[in-house]
């Protein structure tokens, strides 16, 4: 696809965003329905037209449906596959490749919401904590929030502000011990473990930085702390 074809039917502001200099970061602020996703897909096509290999590009969005839609748009523009996925799927792919560095098997299990709930029920039972005191659903939400802020069980316990949070912190610790023994990760771990991996293994981080030269994120304003740290790294 030619550059003229990529830029046709874009208004001046959209065209400026799509053709922004490669070495400079860019944040696009615009209202709903103003063509932000169109800018992302055209930007990917423009970079490829400028000679950037698709291998060096990553598109990130927040839902599987949105990722699939963006992949289709990009494929139609450039006639080749570009890595476009959610934050969690992106980190899962990285962790599958780098699992040994974290002491994980490459075929580690992914615990979904129901799996987490069952595992937390086991933790509460083993610790003799009645569910009327700490409900598995409430514990899961608090643990998930902790992982969104990249807090380990020890860090969570240090920040606990009351007896309830202290109790959940101890449950979080038991829960993590069980996940390790089972060789599993939950959804919160996918981003948290990837950030920890990059923080602790400079060579691995450098390899992925060299691979992913351009990262384009849809709905960037919705990123949480863990997602922001991942992108920053």
Q: What is the pLDDT along the chain (233 residues), one digit of tens a residue?
A: 677 788 888 999 999 999 999 888 999 998 888 888 889 999 999 999 999 999 999 999 989 998 999 899 888 888 889 999 999 999 999 999 999 999 988 899 999 999 999 999 999 999 999 999 999 999 999 999 999 999 999 999 999 999 999 999 999 999 999 999 999 999 999 999 999 999 999 999 999 999 999 999 998 888 999 999 999 99
Rounded to two decimals, the pTM is 0.91
Taking a C-beta distance cutoff of 8 angstroms, is the pair 223, 195 a contact?
Answer: no
Please check whether residue 219 is in contact with residue 61, taking contact to mean a CB–CB distance below 8 angstroms: yes
Token digits of residue 6: 């990529």
> 24 — phi, psi (to 5°)?
-105, 135
């Amino acid at each position: 696809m030619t550059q003229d074809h990529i830029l046709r039917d874009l208004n001046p502001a959209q065209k400026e965003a799509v053709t922004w200099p490669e070495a400079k970061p860019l944040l696009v602020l615009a209202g709903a329905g103003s063509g932000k996703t169109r800018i992302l897909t055209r930007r990917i096509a423009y970079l490829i037209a400028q000679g950037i290999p698709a291998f060096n590009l990553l598109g990130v969005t927040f839902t599987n449906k949105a990722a699939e839609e963006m992949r289709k748009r990009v494929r139609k523009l450039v006639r080749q596959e570009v890595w476009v996925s959610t934050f969690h799927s992106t980190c899962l792919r990285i962790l599958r490749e780098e699992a040994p560095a974290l002491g994980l098997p490459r075929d580690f299990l992914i615990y979904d919401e129901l799996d987490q709930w069952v595992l937390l029920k086991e933790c509460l039972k083993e610790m003799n904590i009645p569910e009327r005191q700490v409900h598995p659903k409430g514990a899961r939400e608090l643990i998930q929030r902790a992982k969104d802020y990249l807090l380990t069980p020890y860090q969570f316990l240090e920040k606990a502000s009351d007896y309830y949070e202290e109790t959940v912190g101890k449950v979080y610790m038991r829960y993590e011990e069980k996940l390790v023994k089972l060789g599993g990760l939950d959804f919160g771990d996918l981003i948290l473990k990837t950030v920890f991996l990059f923080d602790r293994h400079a060579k691995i981080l450098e390899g992925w930085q060299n691979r992913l030269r351009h990262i384009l994120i849809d709905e960037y304003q919705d990123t949480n702390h863990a997602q922001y740290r991942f992108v920053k790294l």
